[in-house]
Structure formats: C-alpha cells, structure tokens
Amino acid sequence: MSDRIRPRYTAWQIFSVPIVLGALSGVGLVTALVGDGPWDAVSWLGLGLPVAVCLWYGWLRKTRSL
Amino acid sequence: MRAERAAGAPAMQLQEANHRLLSAKAIRTWYVVHKWTSLICTVFLLLLSITGLPLIFGHEIEDLTGDTVDAPELPAGTPAATMDRVVAAGLDGRPGHVVRFLFWDGEDHPNATAPSQDAPPEALRTVSVDSRTAAVLQEPEEPGGFMYVMFKLHVDLFAGLPGMLFLGFMGLLFLVAVVSGVVLYAPFMRRLPFGAVRRDRTARTRWLDLHNLLGIVTLVWVFVVGATGVINTWSDVLLAIWRNGQLAEMVAPYRDKPPLAALGSIDTALAAAKAAAPGMEPRFVAYPGTDFSSAHHYAVFLRGSTPLTSRLLKPALIHAADATLTATADMPWYITALLVSQPLHFGDYGGMPMKIVWALLDVLTIVVLGSGLYLWAVRRKGATVPISETEEIREQAA
C-alpha cells in the first residue's frame, strides 16, 4: 500500500514552504512602497521568487514519479 | 461519502488522517464553500485578470500607440509659465467651457498639465498644456480605443457604479474562495511533498496538483490584489462619505455665502496651499463648484515625495477670491486606505521589473482560475469529497 511508502505530513510540514513564500511576497509588496532603488530591488526579489517557484515546480522540473 | 464505500481499512485511515487537521465533515463543508464561491465568481475573475493584463502596461501601450502626450525637449532650467497662463491656454477657443480640475501629469510626460472642463462627468474633456510654454500639447479627445474598453470592462463593465459594486461583490466571493482554498490545501497535500505535480497520472490529477501549487504560492499576492481591488470598487462611495463629512465641515462657514463674482489667480492660491503644507507638491486642484470643493474654494490636493506619500493626499482649501487658507486637514483613514490600496492593486510602484512580475502573477492566477473551472467540469459524478482524497482511497484499495 502506498501509505507505507508515502509519509503523512503534519500541518506544519504542509504549510512551511507556503508560509515562507507568503512572507516573501508580503515583504515584496511593501518594500517598493517605502522607497526607491534598493527597496524596489528587494520587492522584485520578494515577488519574483514565488513566481520562479511556480515555474520550476509547475513546468520546468524534470518529470519524477510521485 | 465515497470513503465509506471503499475498503474498510483505508477508509479508517482516511478518517484518522482527517482528524489530525480537519474532520471529514469540515473538509466537505469547506469544499462546498470553495466550489460555490469559485463557480459564481470565476467567469468575472477571468475577465478581470485578462483585462487587467494590458492595464498593467497601460502607459507603455499608450506610448507605443502614440496616445501619450510628449512635451518637447527644452533646455533644463526653462522657467515655468504661470499656471494662470496655462489655464487660459486650456480654455482658449472653447467658449462656454469652464475649468473643473487641474492636474499634474509629471511621471509620464514631465511638464504637461491639463485643465479639464464642463458640467456632467461624461462631458469632462482633458486638454494637455505644457507648463513651461503654456502651449497646448493635446486637444480633448472622445474616450475610446482598446485601452478604454479594457479599462471599462475591468472597472465597471460599462455599467457605472452598479457595475463597480457588482465586481466588488464578485471580488469578495473570490476572497472567500481563496481562503477556503487554503484550508483545503492541507487535506489535499497530506501525502504529497511541496511542489508535487503528478505528471504521470491523469490530466485531472496533474491539473489538480498544479491548481494547488500555483494557488498556494501566489496566495498572498492574489489576496492583496483582490482585497485592494474590492476596496477600489468602493471609491465613489468613500469619496461621497468624505464629501459629506470632512469636506462639508471644512467649508461649513461658507455654505450660505453668495457665489463668487470672479475667480482669483490660481498661482496665488497654489502658493498659499504650498505654504500651508511645506515639503508637499500639488497633485490636483478642484475648482469651485466641483464635487471635491465648495462654491468658494480652490481645493488644492497636495502629495508627499516618497513612493508611499506621493499617493496620499492632503487637501488645502484656498478661498478662490482672496487666496486665504480656509482649512487644511489630513484625509480620514478610509480615504488613506483607498489611496494606499491603489498602488497595491495596480503594481505601478516598483518600475518595469515589478510590472513584469505583476503580469506573471496575473497569468499564474489565470491558470489557477482556468484549472479550477476545468476541475469542476471533469469532476467525478456524485463525488462529495475532494477528488484527491477519493483517488487516494482507490489507490489504497487497489
């Protein structure tokens, strides 16, 4: 049965990556409001990383059986 | 429930697993909430996210299509014309028109400024005038064109305030759909590592995984853009509250005074406003008799100089005949909330890279909306629990 092979994740394990990415997005949304220049760059990173994560896991990563 | 029909042991395992985070009943309830709020709002959210895409690049598209006003290159330090001359140039050759608003359009075409005129809002026309030479840069145009259609579809479906409020309600449903989606993410992901997209399974499983992945990763952005969009649909209502509240109080002493015979110099009024708010620059002026002023005042709305404070407004009411300051005040919190929500919805406060990221997030949202619709369309008939749960049962029973 797949249950023996596949672990069962806790809420913390399920949400840890989304929480980190959510926090990054939040920082990205706010920093560009605060200032220009480096603030903008932090903002691009904060919002850009979640986009990169979507593209990587969603399409770019080589197929792997799960 | 399908789980009960499946083999006994896995069903018990499922129930046991459910108890860890959510009861099976709670999952079902959240699933129904997610399904129905999504079903009602998805068509409109698709419309909003598709029309919103060109709007992110509105200025750039207008540049390409030649719809922007370009002020001629002049030597740096060319002195500015008086605003009285600028206003006179805007009115020249338009008998029977009056100036209603005066606003500065510094970011896109420095030194262009536009007095606009006439009675009902639909009759407002904008004239762009070079603030250094007082030369007319662009004559008024009838609204129209691709960007106008995108804008109207995005803002009010060509249906005015009711259309705006309707889209706002769809936005609220969307926010509920987002929250319920986050709750459902846990039971769906109980046996899958983050980022799992089961490509070797059926198309439905693949799209379910993609829906969950893109949805949870874009969550904070989509929630902020959704919530600020909802706030923006209330702008007319919030401005009406401000007019009847703070503005009415500020101009109360003038309520019964006779109308002004003639308007004084706008330059003197601007100087008085700047003196009342050091370090701030005028963003727009509402002329006497408009919704944003009284019958007796130039209402000068000033802004600060940081990315955030340049979005905020501070009104200074200047008597239109003698240029004395009647009152100045900070905007109430609900107007400040509206003004702050605007950049957070538009994504226009961090340069071109931010616009590109904004557009990518928008496209990802379109994928989430579209895949959600697809998952509903190919749902298993009679299934009352989330698809992946039923699938797990099948696998384990097999």
Residue B133 belongs to some domain of the structure: no
Task: Mutation target for B interface from A51, A55, A61: give the one with most B CBs within 10 A.
Answer: A51
How sure is the predictor about B9, in pLDDT bands with cuts at 50, 70 and 90?
A: very low
Q: Given a cut of 90, is residue B220 above it in pLDDT?
A: yes
Q: Which of B199, B343, B351 sits opposite A40 (nearest CB)?
A: B351
How many domains is chain B built from?
Answer: 1
The whole-number average pLDDT for the span A30-48 is 94
Q: Given a cut of 80, is residue B312 above it in pLDDT?
A: yes
Q: Which of B20, B192, B306 sits opposite A35 (nearest CB)?
A: B306
Boundaries of domain holding B193:
2-59+149-232+350-397
Residue B31 belongs to some domain of the structure: yes
pLDDT of residue A66: 52
The whole-number average pLDDT for the span B16-38 is 81
* pLDDT (tens digit per residue) in B113-140: 555 544 566 677 788 888 888 888 877 7
Per DSSP, helices labelled H in chain B are 2-5, 8-21, 24-56, 58-65, 83-91, 146-155, 160-188, 203-217, 219-233, 235-242, 248-250, 266-276, 333-346, 351-377, 387-397
Global confidence as pTM:
0.86
How sure is the predictor about B305, in pLDDT bands with cuts at 50, 70 and 90?
A: confident
Instruction: Encode B354-387: b = buried (16+ Cβ within 10 Å), e = exposed.
Output: bbbbbbbbbbbbbbbbebbbebeeeeeeeeebbb
Residue B220 with chain A: CB contacts under 8 Å: 21-23, 25-26, 29
The whole-number average pLDDT for the span B94-120 is 67
Residue A2 with chain B: CB contacts under 8 Å: 191, 392, 395-396
Contact present, B102 and B83 (Cβ < 8 Å): yes
pLDDT of residue B391: 44
Q: Do B185 and A18 touch (CB under 8 A)?
A: yes
Contact present, B372 and B180 (Cβ < 8 Å): no
Is the CB of residue A52 less than 8 Å away from at least one CB of chain B?
no
Q: What is the mean pLDDT of chain B?
A: 85
* DSSP β-bridge partners for residue B299: B286, B317
Judged by DSSP in three states, B116 sits in: strand
% chain A with pLDDT above 90? 68
Q: What is the 3-state secondary structure (H, E, C) of B127-177?
A: CEEECCCCCEEECCCCCCCHHHHHHHHHHCCCCHHHHHHHHHHHHHHHHHH
Residue B12 belongs to some domain of the structure: yes
List the 4-63 stretch of B: residues with Cβ below 8 A of A: 10, 13, 17, 20-21
**Token pair in block for residue B381:** 């008939």
Residue B13 with chain A: CB contacts under 8 Å: 3
pLDDT of residue B245: 94
Residue B110 belongs to some domain of the structure: no
pLDDT of residue B34: 97
Residue B143 belongs to some domain of the structure: no
Task: Name the most confidently modeled range: B51-60, B359-368, B374-383.
Answer: B359-368
pLDDT of residue A22: 98
For residue B351, the distance in angstroms to the closest alpha carbon of chain A comes to: 8
Residue A23 with chain B: CB contacts under 8 Å: 220
Please tell me which residue of chain B has the smallest CA distance to A16.
B194
How sure is the predictor about B12, in pLDDT bands with cuts at 50, 70 and 90?
A: very low
**CA-to-CA distance for B83 and B91, rounded, in angstroms?**
12
The whole-number average pLDDT for the span B238-261 is 91
Residue B161 belongs to some domain of the structure: yes
